[in-house]
Amino acid sequence: MEEDYIRVINITVFGVISWGLIFILLCRIFSNYSFDFSTRIVSALHATVAVILATLTIQDWSCPVCPTASTSTIQQMETMAFSLSYMIYDLICSHFGQVLSIDNAVHHSICMLGFVAGLCYWVSG
C-alpha cells in the first residue's frame, strides 16, 4: 500500500513538471500566438487523455460508476493523480498568464481538494 502512495506522489510530481514542459514547448512552437493559446492546447490535451484514462479504468460497463464510494483500483488512483497534476500546473500557470481570478482559484482548489481526498481515502465514484 505504501508503494502505491509513493507511485501516486511520483505521478503527481512528474505530471506537474511534464505539463509545464509541454506548455513551454508549445509556447516555443507557437511563439506568434498568445499565452492563452498554448494553455488551451495543454487543457485540450489533458481533457483528451483524462477521458481516455478514465474510460480504461471502468470495470463494469453496465454501470460505470457502480458501486459508488467504492475502493479505487491503482489505475483509478493513477488517473486521479494525473488530473491532480494538471490542476496544480494550471493553477500555477494562471498566475503567470493573467490576473488570477477568484473563481478560477476556487475552481482549481476545490478540484484539487476532491482529488486529494479521493487519493487519501482510496475512494472514487
Neighbours of 97 (CB within 10 A): 13
Neighbours of 115 (CB within 10 A): 21
Residue range 84-118, pLDDT digits in tens:
999 999 999 988 876 678 888 899 999 999 999 99
Locate 116 and state its grid cell.
Answer: 486529494
Domain boundaries, the chain: 2-124
Q: Which of 75, 71, 74 is nearest to 57 (CA)?
A: 75
pTM above 0.75, yes or no: yes
Length in residues, the chain: 125
Q: Which of 89, 74, 71, 73 is nearest to 19 (CA)?
A: 89
Residue range 30-86, pLDDT digits in tens:
999 998 999 999 999 999 999 999 999 988 888 887 777 788 889 999 999 999 999
